[in-house]
Copies of this chain bind each other. A is one copy, B any other.
Amino acid sequence: MSGTDKTKNQVLGPAPIAVLVQPQLGENIGTAARAMANFGLHDMRLVEPRDGWPNEKAVAASSGAHWILDRATVYSTLADALSDVNHVYATTARPRGMIKEVITPEQAGHDMRARIERGGKVAMLFGRERWGLSNDEVSMADVIVTAPVNPAFASINIAQAVLLMGYEWFKDQAETLGQQTPELAALDGPGLQTPDTRPATKEEFNGFIGHLEHELDIAGFFKTAAKKPGMLRNIRNLFARASLTEQEVKSLRGIVSSLTRAHEKRKEEREAKAIEP
């Protein structure tokens, strides 16, 4: 399928962000950029690329999608890469034993389109070549995306995963220009009925989780240090599923603060009663 019309300018409209977590080979970063270009994606974010950045092998493998590599940004943590993002899709083929919504690339395409049209920023996570994303990284996403593949040969190259996600996103645009499909309407669930607020950014979300973790540490909620990471991941997944708005994150922080002060109120009441004649 060749046939690029080089005279056409690249249009950098709102599109999903592609986040590559610890990519190992420059070639794969380059072919991922090419796949992004095929489907109008342009915001590439790299978390700790193994061989540093910029990378000449990436440029050579990008088949001319240099504007994506030129604009790519590098982060030292996944949390930093997602700080301004509202909704995150983790691509994975492995079952994770996590209580998190699992959708297909096609559904992700619809969902990303709808969220971007409402002004949201969405990002897709792609794991390292050798072993994909860690459970902690997956827990930072709102939803898992798993493509239907041959279970006896499920390993998809990063660029191929980027291609499938970009394809489904682009295809959805091509299909829905002008009209909204019933599937799209059905998928517009969380976050739609929030006229007075906006989806929380990951920075706001992580701020709440950090606040809760701090208070639970003080309260001795995590029985042992060994159990804490798994327990915290479950808590993160639970709240991530709710697709919180900025206002709801504030409310939850208010709830945590209130509960930690509940004891004071109880004490005041007891003392007030004790004083009564």
Contacts and interface: CB of A to CB of B under 8 A. Distances in A.
Copies of this protein in the assembly total: 2
Nearest to A8: B152
Interface of A: 1-6, 8-11, 31, 34-35, 37-40, 63-65, 91-104, 106-107, 126-127, 129-132, 144, 146-157, 159-161, 163-164, 167, 170-171, 174, 179-180, 182-183, 186-187, 189-197, 212, 215-216, 218-221, 231, 234-235, 238-239, 241-245, 248, 251-252, 254-256, 258-266
A187 B190 contact: no
Nearest to A92: B1
Given A38-B160, A104-B171, 16 more contacts: A1-B126, A4-B152, A6-B152, A34-B153, A40-B150, A100-B192, A101-B186, A102-B191, A148-B170, A189-B241, A190-B241, A215-B262, A219-B262, A234-B251, A241-B242, A263-B263
A1 B147 contact: yes
A10 B152 contact: yes
Nearest to A67: B153
A241 to B, nearest CB: 4
A99 B153 CA distance: 38
Given A100-B192, A194-B99, A91 B1 contact: yes
Of A65, A157, A170, A259, most buried by chain B (CB within 10 Å of CB) is A259
